[in-house]
């Protein structure tokens, strides 16, 4: 298969974002005390690293090498919201971001002419992404006793607004590269069947 320049860029962008996710969750996993959340975050770290590997192999299977990109989607989050102040904020920003990932991958799956190898990679990754949303949602529910549900809801709303700003900025900068995915906003809601 011949990948267009835009196709190769997008697959490389996915790969770069997964690498950034692995690095982030590796740092978070190192700081957590032992227990179920430490295990889940460590699992998440491993998933993100594997997703980068899946994208690398997918790109190679299609006869290309991943492009070296200078940044990833997550890089813009710090500018928009600053460093998370506590573990609840880490989980909240993770929840918002993971929903964005699922929405973007769903959008890609609906695109006409998505290559079967790309489709296979997305579907494999989506199995993990659904679990990420679930474990983070569960962690946030447990944190409501400590932080209060209202603060968690406000934090999620703040991070969702920031994510929408970052996504709009990304589309403004790179939108011509993903025009083949179709027009219209990506729905951040995750259907119940997806978690």
Give the pLDDT of the chain (195 residues) as one tens digit per residue.
688 888 999 999 999 999 999 999 999 999 999 999 999 999 999 999 999 999 999 999 999 999 998 767 777 777 788 888 999 999 999 999 999 999 989 989 988 889 999 999 999 999 999 999 999 999 999 999 999 999 999 999 999 999 998 888 887 777 777 766 655 444 444 444 444
**What domain count does the chain have?**
1
Asked if the structure places residue 185 within a domain, the reply is: no
Asked if the structure places residue 188 within a domain, the reply is: no
CB atoms closer than 10 angstroms to residue 54: 19
Contact 178, 6 (CB under 8 A): yes
Asked if the structure places residue 24 within a domain, the reply is: yes
The pTM (predicted TM-score) of the whole model is 0.88
Q: Which domain holds residue 37?
A: 5-179
Asked if the structure places residue 17 within a domain, the reply is: yes
Asked if the structure places residue 27 within a domain, the reply is: yes
Domain at 29, CATH number: 1.20.1260.10
CA distance 133 to 140: 11
Asked if the structure places residue 11 within a domain, the reply is: yes
Asked if the structure places residue 191 within a domain, the reply is: no
């Amino acid at each position: 298969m011949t990948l267009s320049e835009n196709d190769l860029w997008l697959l490389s962008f996915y790969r770069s974002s997964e690498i950034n996710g692995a690095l982030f969750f590796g740092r978070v996993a190192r700081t957590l005390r032992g227990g179920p959340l430490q295990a889940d975050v460590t699992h998440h770290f491993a998933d993100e690293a594997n997703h980068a590997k899946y994208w690398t192999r997918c790109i190679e299977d299609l006869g290309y090498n991943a492009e070296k990109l200078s940044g990833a989607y997550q890089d813009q989050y710090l500018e928009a919201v600053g460093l998370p102040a506590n573990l609840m904020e880490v989980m909240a920003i993770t929840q918002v971001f993971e929903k964005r990932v699922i929405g973007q991958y769903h959008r890609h799956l609906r695109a006409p002419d998505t290559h079967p190898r790309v489709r296979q990679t997305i579907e494999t990754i989506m199995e993990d992404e659904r679990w990420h949303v679930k474990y983070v949602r569960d962690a946030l529910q447990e944190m409501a006793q400590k932080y209060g549900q209202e603060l968690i809801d406000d934090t999620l709303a703040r991070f969702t607004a920031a994510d929408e700003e970052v996504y709009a900025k990304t589309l403004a900068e790179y939108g011509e590269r993903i025009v083949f995915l179709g027009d219209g906003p990506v729905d951040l809601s995750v259907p119940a069947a997806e978690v």
